A and B are shown apart, each in its own frame.
Chain A
Amino acid sequence: MSGAAGATERWRAWLTSEAPVSVRQARLGEIYRLVTAFIGHPLAVAGLAVVLLLALVAMLAPLIAPFPPAAQDLTIRLHPPGAAHWLGTDELGRDILSRLLHGARITLGIVALVTAIAAPIGLAVGCAAGYARGWVDAALMRLTDVFLALPRLILALAFVAALGPGIGNAALAIALVAWPPYARIARAETLALRGSDFIAAAQLAGASSSRIVFRHIMPLCLASVVVRVSLDMAGVILVAAGLGFLGLGAQPPAPEWGAMIAAGRKYMLDQWWVAAMPGIAIAVASLGFNLLGDGLRDVLDPKR
C-alpha cells in the first residue's frame, strides 16, 4: 500500500520539481502542469470525456454494435425505442443505435481529415504572412480573403459537382473553407510576437527567417489555433451533416448522421426517433468539442 503511494508521490515530486535535471524531465513536467491545470476545469474534462467516448465508439463500433448497420428487416421498420432496439429502427428496419455507432466513424473521420488539411495550411500561411510582411503578407492575405468569401456549402456543392459526391471530397471541400480563420489567427499572433525581444535575440544570433518562424513563432501560435480548431469542430460536424442532408457527403447506405436525419425527415411527426437520435448525437458531439475548446483556451492561453 505504502509502496504504491510512495511511488506516486515520487513521480509527482519528480514532475513538479522546480529544478529539472534533464530535458525530458523539463518537458514532462510542463505537460504535467498543463494536464493538472486542465483537470481543474470540470466542464472541459466533460468535453474531453465526450470526445474520447466518441473516439472509442468509433474505433470499437464493429465490436459493440448490436446489429450490422446495413442489415435491413422490413418487418420491423419504424419500431420505437424498446428492448430489442434501444433507439428504435429506421424506415428500412435497420437498428438506429448500430448505425449511430458506425456513423461516429464517419463523423470523426471527416473531422480528422478536415483538421489535418486545414490547420497546417492555415498556420503556415498565417505565420509566413505575419513574419514576412510586405507584399508576401498582402498576397497571402488577399488569398485568404478570397477563400473566406466563399460560403462553405456553395463551395462544397461546386466541388462535389466537379469531383463527385463522397466523404473524402466533402472533407476536402470543408477544409478548403476552414483554413482562412486559422491563417488570420496565426497572422495576428505572429504580428504580436515578431516584435518581441526573444525574436530579436534570435535574429542577433543569426537565425534564418524560416528557423524563427518554424521553431520560435509557430509553437506559440499553436495554442490559439488549437483552441480555434476545437471550437470549429462543432461547425465542421454540422456542415458535414448538412452535406449529408443534401446527399453530397456520405452516400447511402453509409450511416452518416446528417444523411440519417435527411432520411428521417419524412417521419418526423409520428416516428420522431428516426431523425431525433442522429440529431442528438450531433448535438452531443458538437457540445463535447465546444467544451473541450473552451477548456483548452483557458489552459493554453498564455497568461504568463
Chain B
Amino acid sequence: MIEARGLTARFGATAVVDDVSFTVAAGEAFGIVGESGSGKSTVLRVLAGLHQDWSGSLVVDGAPQECHRSRRGRRVQMVFQDPYGSLHPRHIVDRALAEPLAINGIADATTRITLALRAVGLDGAHRFRYPHQLSGGQRQRVAIARALILEPALLLLDEPTSALDVSVQAEIVALLQALRRERRLSYVLVSHNLAVVAQLCDRLAVMREGRFVAEMTVAALRAGNAEDPYTRELLDASRGYRRRKTS
C-alpha cells in the first residue's frame, strides 16, 4: 500500500523528517510513535498530500507520488487529532458528510450518510446537529464517518484519541479496530501513546528528531524487547511513575 524511501520533509530550511523509509502492506496497520517535535505528524501530512515540501520517493496505492501534485484521490483519507477543529463549526453533520459525496459526484447521499453514521455508532438523531452540540467523542466519530464515506483503502490517523477523555478513548479505539477488520483497511497511526499503538497496529516505528530509530512488531513491543535506548525510555515512561519511597 505504501512504499516510502528516503523521505525528507522540510519546513523552510529545517528538515523535520530526515531520510525516512518504510513500507506498509495492504491491510496492515502501521504505527509511528514519537514525542512532540519528532516529525511524526509531518510524515502523515506528506502521505496525505497536505505538505508539499518533501523529497524522496513515495508510492501510495500503486501510484508514485510527486510533491507538487497535492491531490491523493479518494483512496487516502485522514482522521485528525482535535475533534473540535476537524469539523467546520458552521456545517451540520449532514453537510459535513454530504460534501465529499457531492464533490466526487456520488449519488445516494442520504442512504450513504445514514449508513456511515451507523457504522461509527451514531444514529440519525445526530445528523442535523452542529459540532458544538456534540461531545468530543461524537465529533471524532463524525470525523471517522467522514473519512470513511468515500470508501478509502488507506486511513491516516493523527493522534485520534489524544484529545478525548479516557473512557471515550477506549470506545474510539474499539471502533477503529472493528472498522479495520470489517473493511480491510490499511492504517498509518501516529501517536505518542504506546498503549494505543499496541492496540491498533501490527508493526510500529519509533521516531525521534526526524528519524526512525527503531522498527518492530507490536508483539515485540509488548514483550518489552527493545534494543534502542530511546525506545526503552519510552516503554519505561509508559509504565507510569514510580514513586520514590521517602521516609
A97 to B103, CA, bound (A): 57
Asked if A201 and B92 make an inter-chain contact with CB atoms under 8 angstroms apart, the answer reads no
Asked if B89 and A302 make an inter-chain contact with CB atoms under 8 angstroms apart, the answer reads yes
Task: List which A18-47 residues lie within 8 A (CB) of chain B.
Answer: 18-23, 25-26, 30
Asked if A203 and B103 make an inter-chain contact with CB atoms under 8 angstroms apart, the answer reads no
**B125: nearest chain-A partner, CB-CB:** A19
Does B183 sit at the interface, judged by CB under 8 A?
no
For A, the interface residue count at a CB cutoff of 8 angstroms equals 26
Q: With A21-B128, A22-B128, A206-B71 as given contacts, are A197 and B80 in contact (CB-CB < 8 Å)?
A: yes
Main secondary structure of the interface of A (DSSP, over half): helix
Asked if A211 and B133 make an inter-chain contact with CB atoms under 8 angstroms apart, the answer reads no
Asked if A201 and B146 make an inter-chain contact with CB atoms under 8 angstroms apart, the answer reads yes
Asked if B100 and A205 make an inter-chain contact with CB atoms under 8 angstroms apart, the answer reads yes
* Cβ contacts under 8 Å, A206 to chain B: 71, 73-74, 100, 103-104
On chain B, which size bracket covers the interface? 35 or more
Does B88 sit at the interface, judged by CB under 8 A?
yes
**Proximity string of chain B (54-92) to chain A, C-beta cutoff 8 Å, 1 when within and 0 when not:** 000000000000000011111011101110111111101
Asked if B128 and A23 make an inter-chain contact with CB atoms under 8 angstroms apart, the answer reads yes
A19 to B49, CA, bound (A): 36
A219 to B88, CA, bound (A): 10
Q: Which of B48, B76, B92, B100 contacts A26 (CB 8 A)?
A: B92
Total inter-chain residue pairs, C-beta < 8 Å: 81
* Cβ contacts under 8 Å, B99 to chain A: 202, 205, 207
Does A86 sit at the interface, judged by CB under 8 A?
no
Asked if B94 and A198 make an inter-chain contact with CB atoms under 8 angstroms apart, the answer reads no
Q: Closest Cβ of chain A: how far from B50's Cβ, in Å?
A: 5
**A220: nearest chain-B partner, CB-CB:** B90
Asked if B86 and A25 make an inter-chain contact with CB atoms under 8 angstroms apart, the answer reads no
* Cβ contacts under 8 Å, A21 to chain B: 124-125, 128
Does B230 sit at the interface, judged by CB under 8 A?
no
Q: With A25-B128, A204-B78 as given contacts, are A18 and B70 in contact (CB-CB < 8 Å)?
A: no
A123 to B7, CA, bound (A): 39
Asked if A30 and B126 make an inter-chain contact with CB atoms under 8 angstroms apart, the answer reads no
* Cβ contacts under 8 Å, B150 to chain A: 205
A21 to B124, CA, bound (A): 8
* Cβ contacts under 8 Å, A18 to chain B: 129, 133
Does A196 sit at the interface, judged by CB under 8 A?
yes
Interface residues of A (CB under 8 A from B): 18-23, 25-26, 30, 196-198, 200-207, 211, 216, 219-220, 302, 304
Interface residues of B (CB under 8 A from A): 48-50, 70-74, 76-78, 80-82, 84-90, 92, 94-95, 99-100, 103-104, 124-126, 128-130, 132-133, 143, 146-147, 150
16 interchain pairs (CB within 8 A)? A20-B129, A26-B129, A197-B81, A198-B85, A200-B80, A201-B86, A201-B147, A203-B50, A203-B71, A204-B50, A205-B74, A206-B100, A206-B104, A211-B103, A220-B90, A302-B89
